[in-house]
Chain A
Amino acid sequence: MSSVAQRASLDAVRPYGDHLDDGLVQLSFTLPVDHGPLAREAALALVRDKMGLIKPEIVHAKPLTPGFTYFVLFAQCQDAVDCDRLAAVRTATRAMSEEEVDAFVAEQIGRPIVVIGASTGTDTHSVGIDSILNLKGFDGRHGLEAYHWFRTYNLGSQVPNTALLARAIELEVDAILVSQTVTQQGLHLHNLTELVELVEAEGRRRDVLLVCGGPRITNELAKELGFDAGFSKGTYPNDVAAFIAQELAARSTPASDASALAPE
């Protein structure tokens, strides 16, 4: 049996169901309609006429409580995404394991990297920052505390920005990690921008990496907020460590082509 799977070209990526490019997707949702023919027709119409999918098929329908029906459907997506275009705005951090990060820091930086982290403001969720910083880490991968070349300080949750800033200055940290649950209404955005502005007001923005993480945080949002990177679901401690190590190394040795290309 061949282990080499046929791969789609990355400029037109479609969902994979049974075979390449069949575009099959599975959806699940609840409609506030009693279980019955009308609810089924509503589910099909929604997927076919409003979601832009074709050939919807109900594979599971179950009454939840009176007035509500839960559905699972298959349908076909006709659109594709161009991964090359998306990749253009991804930062070029090379993936590294814990051991590789430690070896990289030893060689390229030659001193321990000092990192401080907290969940700031009124946010009580410390699970994100804990999983990145604490020894235990998550999913079998150690947190930064376990790394030989990292010194970590986890201030916990509900930490005021001012307290985080004061400790960061005292410890002369290389990076500040903040985890934050950004809501749809952007309620916690102000906490994140305030930290950036505080560091800037102290005249230290160039001396410290600012990294934010949370379920809704993307690189795009991180850039708007004024952070150097944003991490979300699917990120492990070694990804954050690799970014910090590589970024610090890159900043200490400016790229050679940082010059005017045209005569002035």
Chain B
Amino acid sequence: MRISDAIAPATRVALVGLAKNTGKTVTLGAILAELEARGETVGVTSIGRDGEACDAIDDAIAKPPIALPPMALVATTEPLLERSGARAEVVVRTDHRTPLGRVVVARLLERGNVEVAGPTAAQDVGEVVETMRRLGAERLLVDGSIDRRAGASPRLADGVVLSTGAVLSADLDQLARRTKAAVELLTLTAVADAELRAHAAALSTSALVMDDGEAIPLAPAVVHDRVEAVVPLLRGRDDVRAVVVRGALTEPLLDQLGRVRRTAPLTVITDDATRVFLHRGTCARYRARGIALAVLAPIPLLAVTTNPVAPLRHRFDPHELRARIAAELPDVPVLDVLAEDPAGDRVPAPVA
């Protein structure tokens, strides 16, 4: 299996990394090359900046360019497009302003390396993706930045490619654990009960949902800051069926919810996995405390890519890393896009 096979089901694909230098740009490069070979017209944007010559923190780290084929559409800023020197036709000038200039949508007239920096806000990303689709892009690629997951929102993307790599840890076991925990978080499943799902989706604010369907609103300050105020609301109330959080769900609130002793497990519902923020804890840790995380819109994970190199630090054997991550994630294609045999599944060719 190759990366283009893995992303085949999704028209809009988001690339997300678990950290800086996990290999998002290399993955994007592999996707672009394979889709070009298939004759597909692509549209590319980045929620950050990609295709730059060297790292913004450590300029000793050289970064791969983003090579776009003729007719590809790209959303980037006007100055960056000019600087690329590639012949391109600006089709739309948008209102989206970034620290690197205003975003335009352009069509390449020849092959060129382009630094890509599209709009930042998710809603604006959705707009340029729609524009590129209208202009003829058959496949839309939204590149992420550092460890940002916003591009993976189901409102923006039909599927996600997640990049993990050696930069996460010099210890293979820890790297595998962290990757697995991140995948579990990103792929939170949909609320199973259709009635509860519909009820949660209809709420306009965060709330406790009771067994009888009643909803008790939670103030934003309680959800984010004065989280301990949630405990008395729940104590002794086994008829609280779910906590619905409209917006960001963070660890302090989850920790308070975990303090309440209950006989039945508590479901905590968010719009999608990009709204859930864990740093110390994992989904498994909260599950052990009787808290099940669920979402209204799940994120399809199309593939995980592995990068064996931590720039200027350490490296793993590429096959060993890929195989180790694949063993942790049996349900997802795990690919090393730079390997001749990306999925490690090729049947040895008969000797001619």
Contact = CB atoms under 8 A, between A and B. Distances in A.
Interface of A: 85, 88-89, 91, 160, 162-163, 165-167, 169-170, 182, 184, 186, 189-190, 193-194, 196-198, 200-203, 205-206, 216, 218-230, 247, 250-251, 254-255, 257-262, 264
A3 to B, nearest CB: 34
Contact of B57 (A91, A167, A182, A198): A182
6 closest Cβ pairs, A-B complex: A166-B225, A201-B248, A166-B224, A219-B99, A224-B48, A88-B79
A226 B220 contact: no
A201 B145 contact: no
A216 to B, nearest CB: 7
A203 B49 contact: no
A89 B277 contact: no
Contacts of B92: 259-261
Interface string B305-349: 000000000000000000000000000000000000000000000
Contact of A216 (B57, B98, B134, B145): B57
Interface residues of B, number: 53
A169 B252 CA distance: 17
A91 to B, nearest CB: 6
B83 A89 contact: yes
A226 B145 contact: yes
A102 B245 CA distance: 39
B89 to A, nearest CB: 8
Given A89-B100, A223-B100, A196 B148 contact: yes
Contacts of A186: 20, 57-58
B95 A223 contact: no
* Most central of A193, A200, A218, A261 by chain B CB within 10 Å: A200
A222 B99 CA distance: 7
Contacts of A264: 134-135
Contacts of A85: 83
A218 B220 contact: no
A40 to B, nearest CB: 28
Contact of A166 (B100, B102, B221): B221
B12 interface: no
A251 B57 contact: no
Nearest to A196: B148
Interface in B93-148: 93-95, 97-102, 117, 120-124, 134-135, 145-148
B99 A206 contact: no
24 contacts: A89-B77, A89-B101, A91-B101, A166-B226, A196-B148, A201-B248, A201-B275, A203-B247, A206-B124, A219-B99, A220-B49, A220-B100, A221-B56, A223-B48, A223-B99, A223-B117, A224-B48, A224-B146, A225-B48, A226-B47, A226-B145, A227-B120, A247-B97, A260-B92
Nearest to A160: B252
Nearest to A255: B95
* Most central of B48, B82, B99, B123 by chain A CB within 10 Å: B99
Contacts of A223: 48-49, 98-100, 117, 120
B93 A88 contact: no
Nearest to A210: B120
Nearest to A182: B57
B99 A91 contact: yes
B150 interface: yes
B274 interface: yes
Contacts of A194: 277, 279
B242 to A, nearest CB: 19
A118 B14 CA distance: 31
B241 interface: no
B274 A197 contact: yes
B122 A190 contact: no
A259 B52 CA distance: 28
A262 B89 CA distance: 10
Given A89-B101, A221-B56, A262-B89, 13 more contacts: A163-B225, A165-B224, A170-B220, A193-B145, A197-B148, A200-B150, A200-B274, A226-B150, A228-B99, A247-B97, A251-B97, A261-B90, A261-B93
